Structure 1
Amino acid sequence: MQSNTEVTVGRIVEDRDGVSPRGVVVNYPPILASDWHVQGRGTLAEDNPDYPADDRTAVVVFETDFEEHYPEYSGYEGIPMAQLNADGVPYYAFPESRLGCVDELEQPEIALEKIDPSPYHARNFDAGVNRQYIDAIAERGRPKPLPAVRPHHGGYQILNGHKRIWASHVAGLEAIPVAVLPLDDVRAAKYWAQRHLPGYDQRERAIALDRLHERLQSTIVDEIRREYCSSEQDHATATPKPDGGHDE
């Protein structure tokens, strides 16, 4: 497989052929050009015979559409294809070597007071247990890796990184850099569940599932349960555990 190490999500790119306008890479799926099908035109490789068939596919939203639909997206992670389709955003697939990188999106710094927790989060943190973790964030001046948030009701809601954001509060920081993903309610819930439910104990998981049921259709919650809660977890005995090494 050919590899263009410059091409990844969040990069601003131009078309080396000069046919298409500049755009932003919003998804970089592990699919070769020879396996990506373009409606009515065969595979991406067949539609781009001057580029290697084993190029990886890069999904691009042109700048005008990007600024209209995703002005806060920061490019730290890709926007799911299902979200792009649900939003009705025009996007285009390119063989990666047809693209040249000209810039990249920046991760914004957001005031902690504007960031709310996920409504499903069910774990508390102890400052005494996590003192070294808090001190490391205070010394560094930012959490690492970046927490992920989504725009929500004029502010932001945590998708992943509750402990990092909590520790930043305790450390006395006022603003931190974050990754912003434009996920709707359902995809935000699934994103959160994938990164939290497998690590929750029985009590935490029960609380989280109750909160999911309060906000989402039962069919969606059942899908989340099947995907991220094993039968062994559902029948396990709840065991309280320290949170010192858990970074969520």
Structure 2
Amino acid sequence: MTGTRGADGKLISHGTVVVDTESSLSKRWICISTPPQFSIAEWTLAQDDHSVASRHPSYDPDEDIALVVDETTFIETIPYYTGSTYITPTDASSLLPRFSAVPVSRLKRVGVLRPVPIPTSTILPNRYHRQQYSVSDQKDLIDSIEPGGDPNKPPLLFPQSTDPPRFELLDGHKRVWAAAVVENETITCNVMYGSERRAIREWAYEHCTKYPQPTREAVIQQMAEDFERVNELVPNWVDVSTAVDRSHP
């Protein structure tokens, strides 16, 4: 791979807003992924079975590829996406009616997605979350969030529904709880899109390792009842055998 620098030498990655330097249109695109396993010679266009490299013969065939979605499709299909995580090619095919694959160096960076304000009333705790908080124990955190303000690190959410909007927490339960305590109506968050399986993996990597063993085993047992191959959803060192054996006799 030759790197992920655009036409102006700036980094192109998921969450980058770009324009196509070879197009006469002023259309803006959102980069959702620069999959490292593909060069433009290795990505085949579904509509005609030709590679991206064959469509762009003036580019190095080993160049990185960018998956981009036009701004209109972005607004219509993944409006809360903030670019904090990439969208896999498989997930993009499921989520989006269309997206494009282009050489990275053809693109010029013109902006970047940012975390978005989400109403706290639309945010649901993760189904596997087991921690509880008290005002007395979290006074410093609560005091650090001004009315109408935000915590330093945006929580990470996963959309559960669009009408009405509902989001499941993947990271930042304590921060969302503290924002609710100070009666903030919104909190600035990152939002990822993809499969439910990948979303739960994001949660598990952040939280399973922090739980004491009995709690961790109970959570993994519940996960094993909901998902196959639960061992793929947690860090390698976490033993899932007991939970899996109980869930699948």
Q: Same fold (TM over 0.5)?
A: yes
Q: Which amino acid aligns with 1:199?
A: K
Contact 1:123-1:204 at 8 Å conserved across structures: no
Separation in 2, partners of 1:151, 1:109: 14
Q: 1:204 aligns with which of 215, 232, 237?
A: 215
Counterpart in 2 of 1:238?
none
In the superposition, relative to structure 1, how do residues 187 and 89 fare at CA in structure 2: closer, same or farther (>3 Å)?
Answer: farther
What are the within-5 Å matches in structure 2 for residues 22-41 of structure 1? 22-31=28-37, 33=39, 36-39=42-45, 40-41=49-50
Shift of 1:12: 2.5
Contact 1:119-1:211 at 8 Å conserved across structures: no
Q: Which amino acid aligns with 1:16?
A: T
Separation in 2, partners of 1:54, 1:130: 51
Separation in 2, partners of 1:142, 1:173: 9
Shift of 1:149: 0.9
What are the within-5 Å matches in structure 2 for residues 124-139 of structure 1? 124-138=132-146
1:8 corresponds to 2:13:
yes
Contact 1:14-1:100 at 8 Å conserved across structures: yes
In the superposition, relative to structure 1, how do residues 35 and 120 fare at CA in structure 2: closer, same or farther (>3 Å)?
Answer: farther
Separation in 2, partners of 1:173, 1:35: 50
SS in 1 for 2:14: coil
What are the within-5 Å matches in structure 2 for residues 111-190 of structure 1? 111-138=119-146, 141-153=149-161, 154=164, 155-190=166-201
Separation in 2, partners of 1:213, 1:135: 38
Number of residues paired by the alignment?
A: 230
Shift of 1:117: 0.6
Separation in 2, partners of 1:227, 1:138: 36
SS in 1 for 2:170: strand
Greater shift after overlay, 83-92 or 8-17? 83-92
In the superposition, relative to structure 1, how do residues 12 and 113 fare at CA in structure 2: closer, same or farther (>3 Å)?
Answer: same
Query: CA RMSD, aligned part only?
Result: 3.1
Contact 1:202-1:233 at 8 Å conserved across structures: no
Shift of 1:18: 0.7
Q: 1:83 aligns with which of 75, 91, 107?
A: 91
Give 5+ residue unaligned stretches, structure 1: 236-248
Separation in 2, partners of 1:140, 1:76: 23
How does the TM-score come out when normalised to structure 2?
0.75
Q: 1:94 aligns with which of 89, 97, 102?
A: 102
SS in 2 for 1:138: coil
How does the TM-score come out when normalised to structure 1?
0.76
Q: Which amino acid aligns with 1:24?
A: I
SS in 2 for 1:71: coil
Contact 1:33-1:54 at 8 Å conserved across structures: yes
Shift of 1:138: 3.5
Separation in 2, partners of 1:67, 1:32: 27
**Identical aligned residues as a percent:** 26
Contact 1:202-1:234 at 8 Å conserved across structures: no
